Amino acid sequence: MSTDVIVLAAGKGTRMYSDQPKVLHTLAGKPMLSHVLDAATAIDAHTIHLVTGYQSAQIRAYFERNPVNSPLNWVEQTEQLGTGHAVMQATPAVDDDKTVLVLYGDVPLITPETLQQLRQKADETGIAVLTLVTENSAGLGRIIRDVDGQVTAIVEEKDASDEQKKITEINTGIMAFNAARLKHWLTLLTTVNAQGEYYLTDTVALACRDGCKVGSLQTHDENEVQGVNNRLQLADLERNYQIRMARQLALQGVTVRDPARLDIRGPLLIGRDVCLDVNVILEGNNRIGDRVTIGPNVTLIDSSIGNDCVILANSHIEGSKISPGCSIGPFARLRPGTELGDRTKVGNFVEIKKSTIGAGGKVSHLSYIGDASVAEDVNIGAGTITCNYDGVNKHKTIIKAGVFVGSNTALVAPVSIGREATVGAGSVITADVPDKALAVGRGRQKNITGWIRPVKNQQ
């Protein structure tokens, strides 16, 4: 049976104390709502009906810039009158023969596997609820079962008796329905309750009254169904997610020095015998080859790292392609557009931007290489900079194979250094250098005798 998903994302998120909609706050590098939509897409949802309210324009604008892979039907809930009321806004666009899953934009870690199982329960019975047994049941709806263990009702805590409040099986809020039956039960909801709202959970009692057996699925992962109401809960869920990801990597053969100090914020392809030290951040879409060692406090963003590379401590690599056998850092910064050839060495306090360094190249320390094309086997001395910006436009530096650039050199672009040329230390190079030439661009040294060094004024 074809499935539609209704995602409720209309709440204000008051306890986030933020000008940003709660569902756009990020977990593992992307909005909580994106995680939910990804889960819905993974079960091949026919249409996702996204119910928004507070700051709906911001939410819509985000997903126009970052579209999902399933059709979205935008639904606005102008008044927040409860979960039942929110679902009512979406159901007119749902065909009667569909199975409907109801999810929440602030419950980001729900898994496609769980949704598949819950959908199957609803296909069998017409209605199914996802439950959790927890000692932390305060404030949550309780699952009421009869003597045969069948679900007969869900009672919100504000409406529960003292005896019902002792129940440890709670409603997660995530439910699945036959669409035609859901539409019928929604017409029967009332606001006669402690909160004066339309409770979606009241559909359970209505289903039982109609003789429907209510299916139930119990999850054993509390974090999977944890909703986020404040930033502390978001931080706790983030750390749980990251530890889970780190453990998965370790079980796949990656050495993770401390699972509590690794952040993965996007898709990751990773090879064999990789070692990740503490406080590594992997953000965006990254690819790491075999036998790569990444040191502590390294940030990797949207980059590809070839086999047998070593990235030393405190390096920052973004939008870069690193070929096999390279050594980078410590304290190196590779900016977008950087490409390193095989066995390149980039040392401490080196910054490279929108440049290629050929195989066997060395930029060992304290240098800036920007908008440059550097061929193979080039040695760049300490303190060298490419002066690529004239205050208005960027210009390119070309350094051909086998060049040796002495320390503290300024290469004023546009400029080209010929094959196997040598540039003397301390030079300012403003004109092209021929192949195999020695270029020295220094002012003449003048020694002044009898010069008296300034002295400190006496107070």
pLDDT digits 0-9 by tens, 400-423: 999 999 999 999 999 999 999 999
Query: What are the E-state strand segments in 278-392?
Result: 280-283, 286-288, 293-294, 299-301, 304-305, 310-311, 316-318, 321-322, 327-328, 333-334, 339-340, 345-348, 351-353, 356-357, 362-365, 368-370, 372-374, 379-380, 385-387
Q: Which of 348, 346, 299, 293 is nearest to 319 (CA)?
A: 299
What is the model's pLDDT at position 138? 84
Residue 266 near residue 287, CB atoms below 8 Å: no
- Identify the pLDDT of residue 236: 96
User: Which amino acid does the sequence have at 450?
Assistant: G
CATH superfamily for domain 3-225: Spore Coat Polysaccharide Biosynthesis Protein SpsA; Chain A (3.90.550.10)
> Side chain identity at 159, as an amino acid letter?
D
Q: Which of 285, 295, 290 is nearest to 272 (CA)?
A: 290
Taking the C-alpha atoms of residue 41 and residue 283, their distance in angstroms, rounded to an integer, is 22
pLDDT at 454 (0 to 100)? 75
Q: Which of 47-56, 107-116, 276-285, 446-455 is least confident? A: 446-455
Instruction: Please tell me the predicted confidence (pLDDT) of residue 147.
Output: 92
Contact between 336 and 317 (Cβ < 8 Å): no
d(CA 114, CA 40): 11
More confident residue, 458 or 9: 9
Task: Please check the confidence at residue 46 and state whether its pLDDT lies above 90.
Answer: yes
Q: Is residue 11 predicted with pLDDT exceeding 70? A: yes
Distance between CA atoms of residues 320 and 387, nearest Å: 21
- Please say if the pLDDT value at position 445 is more than 80: no
For 14-33, what is the mean pLDDT?
A: 96
Asked whether residue 246 carries a pLDDT value surpassing 90, the answer given is: yes
Mean pLDDT calculated for residue range 241-250: 96
Distance separating alpha carbons of residues 112 and 54, to the nearest angstrom: 27
Q: At what angle do helices 202-209 and 179-186 cross, to 10 degrees?
A: 100
What's the average model confidence in pLDDT over 429-457? 87
Q: What is the rounded radius of gyration, in angstroms, for the C-alpha atoms of the chain? A: 31
Q: Is 242 left (phi over 0), alpha (psi -120 to 50) or beta?
A: alpha
CA 71 to chain centre: 22
Where does residue 371 fall: left (phi above 0), alpha (psi -120 to 50 degrees), or beta otherwise?
left
Q: DSSP of 34-87, one letter per residue? A: HHHHHHHHHTT-SEEEEEE-TTHHHHHHHHHHS--SS-EEEEE-SS---HHHHH
Q: State pTM to two decimals.
A: 0.89
Give residue 131's pLDDT.
96
Question: How confident is the model at residue 455, as a pLDDT?
Answer: 85
Q: What is the pLDDT of residues 334-356, one digit of tens each?
A: 999 999 999 999 999 999 999 99
Grouping H, G, I as helix, E, B as strand and the rest as coil, residue 116 is: helix
The count of C-alpha atoms lying within 13 angstroms of the C-alpha of 442, restricted to the half-sphere facing its C-beta, is 14
Supply the residues annotated as catalytic. Answer: 365
**Mean pLDDT estimate for the chain:** 95
Does the pLDDT of residue 194 top 90, yes or no? no
Q: What was the pLDDT predicted at 458?
A: 78
Instruction: State the amino acid at position 95 in one-letter form.
Output: D
Quote the CA–CA distance of 371 and 382 in Å, as a whole number. 18
Considering the chain, what percentage of its residues have pLDDT values greater than 70? 100
Query: Exposure of 189 by Cβ count < 10 A (0-12 exposed, 13-18 middle, 19+ buried)?
Result: buried
Residue 175 has pLDDT above 80, yes or no: yes
pLDDT digits 0-9 by tens, 373-388: 999 999 999 999 999 9
Q: What is the pLDDT of residue 8?
A: 97
* Percent of the chain with pLDDT strictly greater than 90: 90
Q: pLDDT of 279-299, one tens digit each?
A: 999 999 999 999 999 999 999
Mean per-residue pLDDT for 195-213? 94
pLDDT computed for residue 304 by the predictor: 98
Alpha-carbon span 201 to 203, nearest angstrom: 5
Please state the length of the chain.
Answer: 459
Closest CA to 227 of 181, 171, 183: 171
Which residue has tokens 């104390």? Answer: 17
Instruction: Write phi, then psi, for 374 (nearest 5 degrees).
Output: -115, 120
Report the pLDDT value the prediction gives residue 209, as an integer from 0 to 100. Answer: 94
Please determine, for residue 443, whether its predicted confidence score (pLDDT) is greater than 90: no
H helices then E strands: how many in the chain? 7, 41
Omega within 30 of 0 (cis) for the link into 296: no
Mean pLDDT of 166-184: 96
Tokens of 151: 């679900």
- Residue 286: which of 24, 16, 29 has the closest Cα? 29
**Tokens at residue 104, please?**
């929440």
- pLDDT of amino acid 459: 65
Could you state, in order of their start, the residue ranges of all structural domains in the chain? Answer: 3-225, 255-439
Domain 255-439 architecture: 3 Solenoid (2.160)
